[in-house]
């Protein structure tokens, strides 16, 4: 199983205990491959550099987190250029990553993505739904 985790899921898993962190731990224990792209990683770094978020990150937690995620992830080169999410074009990188990376699921808390429910055969689900699937 191949899964793309949206940046909001990754950031939530980093800064607090809860379902997103539980999902990362469950993925690490199961035969699940996280699919990431340069665009998702760049957005993660940008978001976690924001002072509003940074205050929740202690010491080297971000680097440790990235090493853990990196151990269960494959990095794909995104070649697709389609545009789907008119309300928030930045969300298209998640769809492109999933499409080009052969993912079966996108896990997100973003309403623009969740409202699609499915994209080119890829199911778009919440963290809670993905925990149930696993």
Q: Out of 3.40.50.1010, 3.40.50.360, 3.30.300.20, 3.40.630.10, select the CATH number for domain 2-133.
A: 3.40.50.1010
* Count of Cβ atoms closer than 10 Å to residue 108 Cβ: 23
| CA dist 56 → 22, 36, 44, 59, 65 (Å) | 18, 23, 14, 10, 13
Q: Is the pTM of this model over 0.85?
A: yes
Rounded-to-integer distance, Cα 75 and Cα 101, Å: 8
Cα(131)–Cα(26) distance, integer angstroms: 8
80: which 2 tokens?
Answer: 């697709």
Question: 86: which DSSP letter?
Answer: S
Distance CA 18, CA 21 (A): 6
Residue 18 token pair: 């809860």
Please state the domain extents for the chain.
Answer: 2-133
Q: What does each of the 134 residues of the chain score in pLDDT, given as a tens digit?
A: 999 999 999 999 999 999 999 999 999 898 899 999 999 999 999 999 999 999 999 889 999 999 989 889 999 999 988 777 667 667 899 999 999 999 999 999 998 899 999 999 999 999 999 999 99
């Amino acid at each position: 199983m191949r899964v793309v985790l949206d940046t909001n899921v990754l950031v939530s898993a980093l800064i607090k205990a809860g379902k997103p962190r539980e999902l990362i731990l469950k993925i690490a224990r199961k035969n699940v491959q996280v699919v990431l792209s340069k665009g998702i990683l760049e957005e993660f770094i940008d978001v976690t550099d924001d002072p509003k978020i940074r205050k929740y990150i202690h010491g080297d937690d971000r680097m440790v987190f990235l090493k853990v995620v990196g151990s269960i992830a494959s990095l794909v080169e995104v070649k697709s250029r389609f545009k789907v999410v008119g309300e928030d074009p930045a969300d298209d990188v998640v769809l492109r990553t999933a499409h080009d990376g052969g993912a079966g699921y996108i896990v997100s808390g973003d309403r623009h993505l969740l409202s699609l429910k499915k994209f080119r055969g890829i199911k778009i689900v919440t963290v809670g739904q993905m925990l149930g699937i696993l």
